[in-house]
Amino acid sequence: MRALGLRAGLAPAMAALAMVALAGAVVHAATWECRVTAVWSPLVLPERDYLARTAPTVRLEDDGTHAVVTRCARHPGEPERRCERIGIDWVEQRAENAGRKYYRFATHYDLQLFLDRTFVENDGLGTVYHGQCREVGQ
């Protein structure tokens, strides 16, 4: 949040402003399941079979007032997939491409969902994921 010039105490106020901004807009509530098809990272060079081994997925639930992202993947040495839920602080309607961008300020996380149902996700740690989404319900 320092990069934005904001104080930590302003995050709840900004989230409230986001909800007010969304209340005035026509928002389509939806749930999206997204399959990761590419990964870029300057920190770690993913092995060739990285996507096959880890099977990363992203699920976005946006009811027009609140949004939550659930990221899941398999991890080495663990028998089951591990998931993390990320509460979204701010949602922005992108005019230039009519997509939406979802932000989590504390972790510098963001996810962009475009009209063609592709997405780009920045995990806030230097890794970027790209893939295709499908709408699974409201």
Domain with residue 54: its CATH number is 2.40.160
What domain range is 8 assigned to? Answer: 2-137
Q: Give me 7's structure tokens.
A: 């104080």
pLDDT tens figures, 66-116: 999 999 999 888 889 999 999 999 999 877 667 899 999 999 999 999 999
**Residue in the structure block whose two tokens are 């028998």:** 79
Residue 96 confidence (pLDDT): 67
Residue 17 confidence (pLDDT): 39
Q: How far apart are CA 107 and CA 73, in angstroms?
A: 19
Q: Number of structural domains, the chain? A: 1
pTM: 0.75
Q: How far apart are CA 81 and CA 49, in angstroms?
A: 17
